[in-house]
């Protein structure tokens, strides 16, 4: 993507359906037999298409009409996930729980790491084993099976892993008896999954103590649910407006889902108002104050907005720090931002960001989805021209980002390589 920066963004942008909610709720289809799951507000993203391809490989008939997707599930499903698809997207690990619960067996190549960390699934496998699954890993492929049904029981997550929470909630849906999982992830995507499980007939109760109680059922029924707005995409456009000192309304979002981000923006002196389902950013005469950020599981500051926040703070008036406590290595983008004149030094899991007056356009490379987003918003604020290469990462999670930015007055152009 080629960006000519320095133009304050102006106008209204609507948030897409959440990628990280759509992926798990699509996997709910694998709990069905001879039934249909209908999902509304499904975003049109590379990762969504990969998950659709994976579900089709497993035997599900998928029909997409704009943002509605219907999953027509046959009486029998295949239970082997192909390496080619699993390696394309780590979230493929979300087929483990539902397939094992529904078919009694599943073979899934280990997803492997990516540029933000090793991304193990040990917590997923530990929980499934505790529910009675036999798990064997041969040549990088997880083979799991269970004689009869998985057994409901009390489970405790050593870390509130989003993926482990989702896999185990789906596994518990067809298990024998009741499952209680403690110390689960509290991301809004988990509520969306709970609602989707309920809509196919699974009694799910989320408890305030950070636990969930699920009664296993025999057969899931057809159901329909809506994907929640993408809180991370919304934050990206909010920060783009702040960085370019523009006047933008970001609509179709749930403000409470981004409380941590809004609190930090208020602390830094950004000007905005929060409405029922929108945030409106106003230009400000002053540069942002520096702030201290630490990423945490929800409701803490979201790790998925960490690179975009670092880009924004690279123009603040002073020294900010961002501590990344969720992933091992999520600072690859910092070197790229420094090529644009930012002054970021990384020491272990902390980024020290010395604010500069201006960024200059440069040739940079997206190393992962959110790093790419950070470089794009930096390019929008920088003087001159920025080229962001390896946009494939960005298409995984940002629907029509070039069109949305052009509609806000940005000068962006896609270069076919």
Q: Is 137 in the site for ligand EPZ (CB under 6 A)?
A: no
Q: Is 23 in the site for ligand EPZ (CB under 6 A)?
A: yes
From the CA atom positions of the chain, what is the Rg in Å? 22
Residue with tokens 């008939």: 61
Q: Is 159 in the site for ligand EPZ (CB under 6 A)?
A: yes
Q: Applying CB under 6 A, which of residues 2, 64, 105, 119 lies at the interface with ligand EPZ?
A: 119
Q: Is 327 in the site for ligand EPZ (CB under 6 A)?
A: yes
Q: Applying CB under 6 A, which of residues 123, 202, 235, 238 lies at the interface with ligand EPZ?
A: 123
Q: Which of 7, 70, 114, 296 is catalytic?
A: 114
Q: Applying CB under 6 A, which of residues 50, 161, 268, 314 lies at the interface with ligand EPZ?
A: 161
Q: Which stretch binds ligand EPZ (CB under 6 A): 61-69, 71-79, 122-130, 254-262?
A: 122-130
Least Cβ distance, residue 339 to ligand EPZ (angstroms): 22
Residue with tokens 């040990």: 122
Q: Applying CB under 6 A, which of residues 192, 303, 312, 320 lies at the interface with ligand EPZ?
A: 303
Residue with tokens 């709720």: 25
235 catalytically annotated: no
Q: Applying CB under 6 A, which of residues 91, 171, 353, 394 lies at the interface with ligand EPZ?
A: 91
Least Cβ distance, residue 406 to ligand EPZ (angstroms): 24
Q: Is 121 in the site for ligand EPZ (CB under 6 A)?
A: yes
Q: Is 122 in the site for ligand EPZ (CB under 6 A)?
A: yes
Please identify, using beta-carbon distances, which residue of 188 and 355 lies nearer to ligand EPZ.
Answer: 188
> The tokens of 281 are what?
């950013």
Q: Which residues contact ligand EPZ by CB under 6 A? A: 19-20, 23, 91, 117, 119-124, 159, 161-164, 185, 303-304, 326-327, 369-370, 397
**Catalytic residue numbers?**
114
């Amino acid at each position: 993507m080629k960006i000519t920066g320095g133009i304050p963004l102006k106008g209204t942008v609507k948030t897409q359906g959440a990628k990280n909610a759509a992926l798990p709720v699509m996997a709910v289809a694998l709990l069905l037999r001879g039934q249909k799951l209908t999902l509304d507000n499904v975003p049109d993203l590379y990762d969504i298409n990969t998950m659709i391809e994976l579900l089709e490989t497993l035997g599900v008939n998928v029909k997409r009409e704009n943002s509605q997707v219907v999953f027509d599930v046959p009486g029998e499903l295949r239970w082997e996930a192909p390496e080619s698809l699993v390696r394309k997207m780590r979230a493929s690990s979300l087929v483990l729980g539902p397939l094992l619960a529904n078919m009694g067996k599943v073979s899934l190549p280990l997803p492997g790491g990516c540029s933000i960390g090793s991304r193990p699934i040990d917590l997923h496998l530990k929980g499934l084993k505790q529910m009675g699954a036999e798990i064997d890993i041969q040549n990088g492929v997880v083979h799991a099976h269970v004689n009869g049904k998985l057994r409901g029981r009390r489970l405790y997550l050593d870390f509130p892993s989003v993926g482990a929470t989702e896999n185990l909630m789906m596994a518990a849906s067809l298990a024998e008896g009741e499952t209680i999982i403690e110390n689960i992830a509290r991301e809004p995507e988990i509520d969306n999954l709970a609602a989707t499980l309920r809509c196919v007939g699974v009694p799910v109760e989320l408890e305030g103590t950070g636990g969930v109680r699920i009664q296993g059922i025999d057969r899931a029924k057809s159901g329909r649910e809506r994907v929640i707005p993408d809180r991370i995409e919304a934050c990206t456009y909010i920060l783009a407006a702040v960085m370019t000192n523009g006047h933008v309304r970001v609509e179709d979002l749930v403000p409470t889902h981004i409380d941590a981000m809004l609190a930090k923006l208020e602390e830094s002196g950004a000007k905005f108002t929060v409405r029922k389902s929108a945030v409106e950013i106003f230009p400000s005469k002053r540069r942002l104050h520096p702030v201290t950020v630490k990423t945490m599981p929800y409701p803490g500051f979201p790790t998925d907005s960490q690179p975009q926040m670092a880009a924004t703070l690279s123009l603040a008036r002073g020294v900010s720090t961002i501590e990344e406590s969720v992933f091992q290595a999520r600072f690859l983008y910092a070197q790229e931002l420094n090529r644009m004149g930012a002054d970021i030094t990384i020491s272990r899991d902390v980024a020290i960001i010395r604010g500069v007056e201006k960024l200059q356009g440069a040739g940079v490379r997206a190393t992962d989805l959110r790093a790419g987003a950070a470089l794009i918003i930096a390019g929008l604020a920088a003087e001159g021209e920025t080229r962001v290469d390896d946009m494939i990462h960005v298409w995984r999670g940002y629907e029509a980002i070039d069109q949305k930015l052009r509609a806000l007055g940005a000068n962006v152009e896609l270069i076919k390589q």
